[in-house]
């Protein structure tokens, strides 16, 4: 009996609570992710092309104040608008949410169910995030002359360590799956998506249309790998940056397409197949 079978067969309750129950019921997690996906997509439509999680959260945290009349809807709308383009984009939740669901369903078709499905869907999905963020920070660090974004020192070091950890656990998962006769998928679809990822990176790095240059102190943005949100640091000697938003819908489209291609490339690769005997 492997570790996943032991988790699935664990039925001991503590104070009426099964501590491993969350790992056993992957179908419930898929429902949660689907709900999150619907909320993210709806919010993305409502709040705009470059909207971020900070915008809907602004409304949520102000609900008590709105009910009691301590603030007005106009005030909350203005506060939320200040976060447009600043923070984690809602589009990311949509992209990774779809990838999570597709991978979980694919693994279930291979008879990978319950805790095993939850574990591998989660670790491989996190690996996708880790790969994207490591590549992004490496490019931004070098092409926008912000070396702190790829330095393993406080505070950015925590982010980079987390992304590296995501890649490590995803790699371990691939090795384990290979050991039970499930190989990664590097077919024509994966190769096509990889090519799309490379091309969108090139389009982003050498963006052919005019972009707005900004200067903060002694630093000036470059023409390579332009952004709609620049993180400029370090701040007070700490490896973190202050955000500056420069709206550019076409540039953000390239960013979204690049993330879609990267997420689909990793997804296609980890949609494992039975080894041929």
Using DSSP's 3-state secondary structure scheme, residue 160 falls into helix
129 falls within a domain: yes
- Flag whether the pTM goes above 0.75: yes
148 falls within a domain: yes
12 falls within a domain: no
H or E stretch covering 27: helix 26-47
15 falls within a domain: no
Q: How many CA atoms lie within 13 A of 209 on its CB side?
A: 10
Query: What is the domain extent for residue 270?
Result: 22-50+85-274
Cα 264 from Cα 171, distance rounded (Å): 17
Whether the pLDDT of residue 1 is over 70: the answer is no
pLDDT tens per residue, range 3-25: 888 888 888 777 667 777 778 88
150 falls within a domain: yes
Residue 242 backbone dihedrals phi, psi, to 5 degrees: -85, 135
31 falls within a domain: yes
Q: Which residue has the tokens 């332009």?
A: 226
Whether the pLDDT of residue 112 is over 90: the answer is yes
16 falls within a domain: no
Instruction: Point out the least confidently predicted range of 71-85, 120-134, 136-150, 229-243.
Output: 229-243
Cα 99 from Cα 263, distance rounded (Å): 7
Return the pLDDT at 274. Answer: 93
For the chain, what is the domain count?
1
- In sequence order, what are the beta bridge partners of 171? none
78 falls within a domain: no
């Amino acid at each position: 009996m492997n570790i996943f079978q032991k988790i699935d067969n664990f039925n001991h309750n503590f104070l009426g609570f099964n501590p491993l129950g969350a790992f056993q019921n992957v179908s419930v997690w898929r429902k949660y992710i689907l709900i999150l996906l619907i909320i993210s997509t709806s919010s993305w439509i409502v709040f705009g092309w470059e909207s971020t999680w900070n915008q809907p959260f602004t409304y949520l945290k102000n609900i008590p104040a709105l009910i009691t009349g301590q603030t007005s809807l106009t005030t909350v709308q203005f506060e939320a608008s200040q976060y447009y383009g600043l923070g984690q984009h809602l589009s990311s939740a949509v992209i990774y949410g779809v990838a999570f669901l597709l991978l979980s369903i694919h693994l279930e078709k291979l008879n990978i169910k319950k805790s095993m499905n939850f574990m591998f869907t989660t670790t491989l999905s996190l690996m996708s995030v880790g790969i994207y963020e490591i590549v992004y920070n490496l490019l931004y660090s070098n092409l926008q002359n912000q070396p702190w974004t790829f330095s393993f020192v406080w505070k950015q070091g925590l982010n980079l360590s987390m992304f590296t950890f995501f890649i490590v656990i995803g790699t371990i998962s691939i090795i384990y799956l290979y050991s039970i006769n499930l190989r990664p998928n590097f077919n024509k679809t994966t190769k096509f998506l990889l090519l799309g990822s490379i091309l969108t990176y090139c389009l982003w790095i050498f963006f052919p249309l005019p972009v707005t240059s900004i200067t903060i102190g002694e630093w000036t943005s470059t023409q390579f790998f332009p952004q709609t949100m620049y993180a400029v640091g370090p701040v007070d000697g700490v490896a973190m940056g202050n955000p500056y938003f420069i709206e550019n819908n076409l540039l953000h489209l390239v960013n979204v397409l690049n993330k879609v291609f990267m997420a689909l490339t990793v997804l296609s690769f980890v949609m494992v197949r039975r080894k041929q005997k």
